[in-house]
Amino acid sequence: MSLLGVKVGFPSILCRMRHIVSSGDRVVEGAGALLLRASGSLLSAPEELVMSDSPKLSPVAELLKLLDLEPIEVNIFRGVSPEGRTQRVFGGQVLAQALVAAYRTVEERVCHSLHAYFLLPGDPRAPILYEVDRSRDGKSFTSRRVVAIQHGRPIFHMAVSFQVMETGLDHAVAPPPVPPPEELPGEDELREELAGKIPERHRQHFLRKRPIELRPVDRRDILNPAKAPPQQCVWVRAAERLADGISLHQGVLAYASDMTLLDTSLRPHGISIFSDRIQIASIDHAMWFHRPFRADEWLLYVQDSPSGSGARGFSRGLVYTREGALVASAVQEGLMRLRGEAGP
């Protein structure tokens, strides 16, 4: 059996630093010998991760480099954060890196669910160690527990379940009718419109190119949003073509799934995620992968927030292909505490 043109056995994906460039469409084979194979061994030496004649890495290649975890010992891997980041580590990065670490200890199986808790803010200036506990290897299912460690303390832990591919009963709810992504303005265009309102010291960071392209269906002022129902739909995809391999595409979607989900809980309150009035952070995050997909093709992220209480926002998301296939679901609870109010 194969998924996305790759055997379920997850053969190594050697992603060289060079990009394949065609007319208008770049295929990112990877960065820094990204290997999402069961054994997790690297096929290139560390010095080969940077080519002297290579241009500056694109945002997608930088993301793939983040997912290229370094094996330290059996079941232990080391990850890094993007250069220049000074605030806490982005939650989607830790989700994706932890999923990669778990995949490095599994053969012939595909992740169908993950459940994670964010315990402490990650320090982007320090490496993150991912320790994988091989909890169970059954005939059909495999369980792993991943703990992310910094400065000697766990900052994150995640339970991951893998399954041998099987066939069976199949159903799914349909996506809502929305305009196709080609009819919507791109994120770069929207950010250019807002650039003049951003303080100059933050403008360059605000306008930087990103590895994930977002096209919101419902345009709104992200700096001064009006109150709106706690729902949103966003088209999302990797900004460049990716190599094959379902583990790679699941990792990229895990990264992207954390980008807008908590924002949905703020919509009925008319508060921007950039506001100094509020403290926001991911508390937990769960995902279920239902069907094969490609993260470099447009996916519709349908999100809602059924509840906000106790300084927490609860949000859900369904991810569809543009053909209407439900490929993944996500659920998150996040802190949304008004500043000045007492916390625990």
Catalytic site includes residue 332:
yes
Angle value at C-alpha 292, between 5 and 15, nearest 5 degrees:
50
Of these residues, 97, 250, 258, 305, which one is catalytic?
258
Place of tokens 């096929």: 43
Mean pLDDT, contiguous 10-residue spans, the chain (344 residues): 34 30 36 36 26 64 96 97 83 97 96 98 96 97 98 98 96 97 84 69 70 92 88 96 96 96 95 87 97 98 97 98 98 93 54
Of these residues, 150, 250, 315, 332, which one is catalytic?
332
Query: Given its phi and psi angles, is residue 311 left (phi above 0), alpha (psi -120 to 50 degrees) or beta?
Result: left
252, 96 contact by CB (below 8 A): yes
Which residues lie across from 312 on neighbouring strands? 309, 335
Q: Which is it for the CA torsion 313, 316, 319, 324, positive or negative?
A: negative
- What pLDDT does 36 receive? 37
Catalytic site includes residue 329:
no
Q: Is 10 exposed, middle or buried (0-12, 13-18, 19+ CB in 10 A)?
A: buried
- What pLDDT does 203 receive? 64
Strand blocks (E) in 125-272: 128-137, 141-150, 153-163, 212-216, 231-238, 241-242
- What pLDDT does 275 receive? 84
DSSP letters for 110-152: EEEEEEEEE-S---TTS-EEEEEEEEEE-SSEEEEEEEEEETT
Catalytic site includes residue 12:
no
- What pLDDT does 39 receive? 33
Of these residues, 161, 282, 303, 305, which one is catalytic?
282
- What pLDDT does 308 receive? 96
| Model confidence, pTM | 0.82
Q: Which of 137, 126, 132, 125 is nearest to 157 (CA)?
A: 132
Which residues lie across from 30 on neighbouring strands? none
